[in-house]
């Protein structure tokens, strides 16, 4: 069976940490969507690693890591990721496999991302500027440049045809955008040569064979459900399906092969980039979350917006994904709050509702909170479920009752070891 691990909010829930913790139970870890817009942080043995494209199982000898067909790869960033891991003596050739059907991010995709954002002005998405949107546009527009193209001698012609189109589009945007194409291309071509040393596979075949042979697979989501291109807060979303269905299309596995669906969420909510955020805090409470939780983007370094847990949105994400087990992260950050609040309904067009409507912009939606008693204890040294304070257990039960799914892991710090199984 293949299990899925999916972020249920606006990303940065702690997916990287938990994939790393769970990898010992799996033969294969596979990314199925997104690209280097992701930043997945792993902390162990006093070291911190941020992975962008490489799956978070890479530090474990037992597992093969696959970059699936649904992922978009920037060779330049990929090369840098490999370099950052060089001291670990990982045998990338056998441990890191790349789908031939994954699409490649060109330097000009990044320029187009920037041009599009500039044109939008105040309405910009707040994208990570990694070229994600334009690359998926070329994929669905049937113009994309794929990893498998590199197996053929004429790949540079394909590249050039697409890059030429992009340069025309950049002209069309009519904005001042400075770049040195020669420099960008030499860096890109150099990185392609590094990529070509890795193993390219027909990943859908590989993965289905593995499943037929009884291997266990964990699919690692990127971003979160509220950034899903269909079900997120459109247009302030990313350009892929971050939800469970995305694992089927992003790896080539059938829905009936899916086992557990692990849904991961923070005990509060963060969002980086633009877009609606009904429970956002602008007061001292929000500042405390930001400070104690070190809420800065792992990819862009931008401050993350913070707010109370939104149970309406969480329930929606649980439903869309068919979540079977929950994992609650960063409860330690809330230690010391006298009272916690959780959003349990919205006011929308004069009615109280408990689902996510078409538009959750501030003008349409206001929130109703339920108050819960906070806890004072420092959780970060706790290792067992029976050490958790009563008020935290009450918070957990309250969430479980609202969304109707059990919380099986409580994370009490960023380190691999700060993970409590319930």
* Residue of 12, 20, 228, 285 marked active site: 12
Active site residue 52: no
CA distances from 231 to 61, 245, 247, 410 (A): 36, 11, 15, 27
Residue nearest to ligand IMO (CB): 273
272 binds, options ligand GDP, ligand IMO, Mg ion, none, Cβ within 5 to 8 A by partner type = ligand IMO
Phi, psi of 104 (to 5 degrees): -100, 135
Residues 324, 301: Cα–Cα separation, whole Å: 32
| First-to-last C-alpha distance (Å) of the chain | 23
* Residue of 3, 20, 40, 113 marked active site: 40
Q: Per CB under 6 A, which of residues 7..36 are in contact with ligand GDP?
A: 7, 11-17
Q: Per CB under 5 A, which of residues 27..46 are in contact with Mg ion?
A: 39
**Is the preceding peptide bond at 235 cis, omega within 30 degrees of 0?**
yes
Based on the shown chain and the rule CB under 6 A, indicate whether residue 17 belongs to the binding site for ligand IMO. no
Based on the shown chain and the rule CB under 6 A, indicate whether residue 329 belongs to the binding site for ligand GDP. yes
| Position among 3, 12, 20, 228 found at the interface with Mg ion (CB under 5 A) | 12
Instruction: Map residues 220-239 to x or -, x wherever contact with ligand IMO holds by CB under 6 A.
Output: --xxx--x----------xx
| Position among 298, 312, 327, 420 found at the interface with Mg ion (CB under 5 A) | 298
Q: Per CB under 6 A, which of residues 247..306 are in contact with ligand GDP?
A: 293, 298
70 binds, options ligand GDP, ligand IMO, Mg ion, none, Cβ within 5 to 8 A by partner type = none
Active site residue 166: no
Q: Taking the alpha carbons of 166, 169, 173, 179 in that order, is the dihedral positive or negative?
A: positive
Q: Per CB under 6 A, which of residues 36..75 are in contact with ligand GDP?
A: 38-41, 43
- Which residues of this protein are in contact with Mg ion, per CB under 5 A? 12, 39, 298
Positions in the binding site for ligand IMO (CB under 6 A): 7, 10-12, 37-40, 125-128, 130, 132-133, 222-224, 227, 238-239, 272-273, 298
Residues marked as catalytic:
12, 40
């Amino acid at each position: 069976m293949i299990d899925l691990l999916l972020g249920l909010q606006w990303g940065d829930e702690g997916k990287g940490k938990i994939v790393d913790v769970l990898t010992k139970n799996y033969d294969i870890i596979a990314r199925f969507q997104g690209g280097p817009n992701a930043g997945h942080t792993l902390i162990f043995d006093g070291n911190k690693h941020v992975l962008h494209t490489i799956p978070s199982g890479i530090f474990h000898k037992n597992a093969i890591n696959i970059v699936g067909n649904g992922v978009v790869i920037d060779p330049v960033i990929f090369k840098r990721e490999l370099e950052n891991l060089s001291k670990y003596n990982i045998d990338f050739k056998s441990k890191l496999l790349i789908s031939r059907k994954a699409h490649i991010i060109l330097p000009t995709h990044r320029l187009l991302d920037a041009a599009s954002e500039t044109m939008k002005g105040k309405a910009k998405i707040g994208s990570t500027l990694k070229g994600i949107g334009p690359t998926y546009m070329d994929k669905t527009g049937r113009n994309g440049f794929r990893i498998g193209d590199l197996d053929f001698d004429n790949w540079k012609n394909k590249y050039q045809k697409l890059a030429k189109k992009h340069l025309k589009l950049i002209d069309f945007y009519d904005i001042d955008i400075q770049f040195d194409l020669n420099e960008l291309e030499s860096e890109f071509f150099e990185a392609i040569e590094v990529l070509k040393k890795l193993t390219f596979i027909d990943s859908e075949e590989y993965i289905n064979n593995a499943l037929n042979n009884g291997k266990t697979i964990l699919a690692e989501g990127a971003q979160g459900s509220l950034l899903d291109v269909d079900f997120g807060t459109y247009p302030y979303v990313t350009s892929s399906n971050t939800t469970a269905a995305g694992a089927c299309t992003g790896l080539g596995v059938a829905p009936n092969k899916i086992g557990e669906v692990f849904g991961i969420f923070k005990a509060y909510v963060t969002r980086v980039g633009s877009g609606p955020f009904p429970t956002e805090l602008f007061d001292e409470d929000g500042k405390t979350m930001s400070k104690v939780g070190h809420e800065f983007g792992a990819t862009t370094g931008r401050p993350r917006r913070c707010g109370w847990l939104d149970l309406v949105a969480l329930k929606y994400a649980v439903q869309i994904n068919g979540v079977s087990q929950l994992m609650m992260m960063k409860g330690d950050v809330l230690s010391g709050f006298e009272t916690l609040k959780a959003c349990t309904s919205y006011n929308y067009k004069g009615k109280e509702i408990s689902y996510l409507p078409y538009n959750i912009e501030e003008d349409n939606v206001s929130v109703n909170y339920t108050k819960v008693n906070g806890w004072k204890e420092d959780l970060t040294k706790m290792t067992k479920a029976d050490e958790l304070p009563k008020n935290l257990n009450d918070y957990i039960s309250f969430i479980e009752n609202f969304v109707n799914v059990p919380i099986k892991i409580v994370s009490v710090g960023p380190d691999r070891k700060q993970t409590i199984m319930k």
